[in-house]
Amino acid sequence: MRAAPRPRHRTAAHGRPATPPPPASAAPRSGGLGLGLEGMMLVELQQVATGLGIRGTARMRKDQLIQAIRDRQHEQAREAAPQGTIPEATTDVPPRHPDTPPPPARFTTLGIRAISLGTQLLPAAARERWQEEWRAEWADLSDRPRRTRLTYLIRITVNSAPRLAWSLRRASRRETA
């Protein structure tokens, strides 16, 4: 006699045949791929928007629907944050209103480092004075647009600091001679 045929797949603990994992193409497009809202299909976006309480999703195009979802998420984050605190940063930050102060952290650190780099070209006796002056000017530019501040940093590190270093060293040579 012949033995009973073996099942093709291993059986699970309860005696049922284990189902093979779904192929990679069957995985949902929105999950785990880092595509976010742009990677979702229109139907999925409509479901998310309905869950957030957005009305009129059937008349919206995909880009309008994504923007409406982001706006609602930002509103909910602001409402959920305690009074006087800033909600945690999200990947999609809305544009800054012109009356709000510029974000200080990263760009300010970049400016201070660029000024320190520029002053390293100067003679040791003059470094502290010029660093203090350039940092004060940098602080005065804090309410100006980012492009203006970046132009200032480039001007200091590429143009002003090398020329000033040359002038100061030249003057010190003349005094010693």
Length of the chain: 177
Nearest CA among 97, 172, 176, 162 for reference residue 130: 162
Q: Could you give the CA distance from residue 58 to residue 56 in angstroms, rounded to a whole number?
A: 6
CA distances from 158 to 18, 53, 114, 142, 165 (A): 67, 53, 10, 21, 12
pLDDT value of position 37 = 84
Taking only the tens of pLDDT, the chain with its 177 residues reads: 566 666 555 554 555 555 444 444 434 444 444 468 888 888 888 888 888 888 888 888 888 889 999 998 888 888 877 666 555 555 555 555 566 555 555 567 788 888 888 888 889 888 888 988 888 888 888 788 888 888 998 898 888 889 999 998 888 888 876
Confidence at residue 24, expressed as pLDDT on a 0 to 100 scale: 42
Q: Which pLDDT value is given to residue 141?
A: 83
Rg (CA), the chain: 31
| pLDDT for the residue numbered 34 | 47
Give Cα 11 distance to the centre of its chain.
Answer: 48
Question: What is the pLDDT at residue 156?
Answer: 87
Q: What pLDDT shows up at residue 32?
A: 41
Whether the Cβ atoms of residue 153 and residue 115 lie closer than 8 Å to each other: yes
Judged by DSSP in three states, 17 sits in strand
- What is the distance between the alpha carbons of residues 11 and 147, in angstroms, rounded to a whole number? 64
pLDDT of residue 3: 64
CB neighbourhood size of 144 (10 A): 12
